[in-house]
Amino acid sequence: MPSSPANFNPNLHGLRGIAALLVLLFHWGSDIGFFPEIRRLLVVDSPAGSWDFGRFLDMGWIGVPIFFVLSGYLLGGQLLRHPAHGKQLATFWKRRFLRIYPAYWLQLAILLALAAVLPFMPQIAGLGDVLRHVALWINLPPSMTQPLNPVWWTLPTEFSFYLVLPALVLLSRRIGWASLLLAALLVTLLWRYQVIAYYGSSNYTVHLPVLDSLPGYLFTFCVGLALASYLEGAGTLSRGRRLVPLGIGFLAILLLSTWLQNNVDLYYSGHWSLIAWNSGLAAAMGLMLPGLLWPLPGLGWLGSKTMVWLGNISYGIYLWHYPVLMLVKRTLLESMNSPAGAMVGLIVCLAVTLAISHASYRWLEHPLMQMGRNKPSGSNARTS
């Protein structure tokens, strides 16, 4: 299989689908409130002790950094192979705009309409907030407007990366991928340290929009970009050079996740881990990625038709799952507050979210992406 990120890779498409479903499961289990109803069912007793599998759902939000690493790898790899300048650069940004905004605008219009008739749906305060939402100027200074849909916080971060990506690719060519990665790490650590020092809070959950803006996640994106740059010259990696990093990366993610679950209050209190933890997670993901580019035995299912389909509609899954969960909870499950009801809610949410996401991809996202396509020779638009 070709190593270039400019070529369509079904395995990474499947990984996108998994990332979106992880975020859905996380919100089903935490923010929406189904999870406490079935938490006890996820604790398994064994001679070695109790195993709480609910912890894995608690960490479903790591689907977000997976998206960020993949953006750095796929889009950065395209620009490394086909440098953007002049009209090509305009086309790149146009495609990025069409990828993010139209589906977002459609959902914004629908949520505003629902808010007008359903009082339990999130509301927007006034015209200023509406205009900032239209521009996607949410979680950004000076207003720090709270997004109508909580998952939208990632969109300004992602789009900010699109704007600076051509400069990052140029810098990578000048100083090398390793130096770029080191510089991005310093920016990320310094940003998060300065935010913590500036607020001097005992609970930084309220300051996450600032911590997790682009500077606070720059290293995560650049892990993907650095990997794309490295693999351009390395070619197809041997099985051993994929298996060992895959194992190390998986173990690191498991250890980091376990530590965070056991120390979540300490983490959000402004502990040094709030500065460095997400960069460690990104590095671990970067180690695993080559093992998924050319799947090892047992991982071939990542590139199956079903997983590619989930990858195609992953943006829709990410956008729509939260409002669907909210509607399901406040309607269907008002009288089904039980473990069985929680599972019914999950099944209904999955079915409705997948249906809406498929329709959005088929009739909105894909046609618009084709409209904005100016395909360089040898590339495949499905990577973006």
Q: What is the pLDDT of residue 249?
A: 96
Residue 326 belongs to some domain of the structure: yes
Give Cα separations from 65 to 173, 196, 286 (angstroms).
24, 21, 11
Per DSSP (E only), the strands in 308-380 are: none
- Report the distance separating Cα 365 and Cα 20, nearest Å: 16
Task: Judge whether 2 lies within some domain.
Answer: no
User: Is residue 190 in a domain?
Assistant: yes
Is residue 183 within 8 A of residue 215, CB to CB? The reply is no
What the block records as the tokens of 273 is 């881990």
Q: Which domain holds residue 211?
A: 10-383
Q: What is the pLDDT of residue 3?
A: 47
* Residue 171, in any domain of the structure: yes
In a domain, 4, yes or no: no
Omega of the bond prior to 119 within 30 degrees of 0, cis? no
- For residue 329, what pLDDT is reported? 84
CB atoms within 10 A of CB 194: 14
Closest C-alpha to 289, from 74, 82, 61, 23: 74
How many domains in the chain? Answer: 1
Task: Report pLDDT for 111.
Answer: 95
Task: Flag whether 1 is in a domain.
Answer: no
Evaluate whether residue 161 is within a structural domain.
Answer: yes
8 Å CB contact between 54 and 85: no
Which stretches does DSSP call E strand in the chain?
43-46, 49-52
For the chain (384 residues), the mean pLDDT of every run of 10, in chain order, is 60 94 89 60 67 74 96 93 81 93 97 91 89 95 92 97 96 94 98 97 94 97 95 76 90 93 93 97 95 81 94 97 91 74 87 98 93 52 48
Q: Which pair of tokens denotes residue 139?
A: 């979680």
Report the run of H or E that residue 249 belongs to, with start and end. helix 239-262
Residue 47 lies in a domain: yes
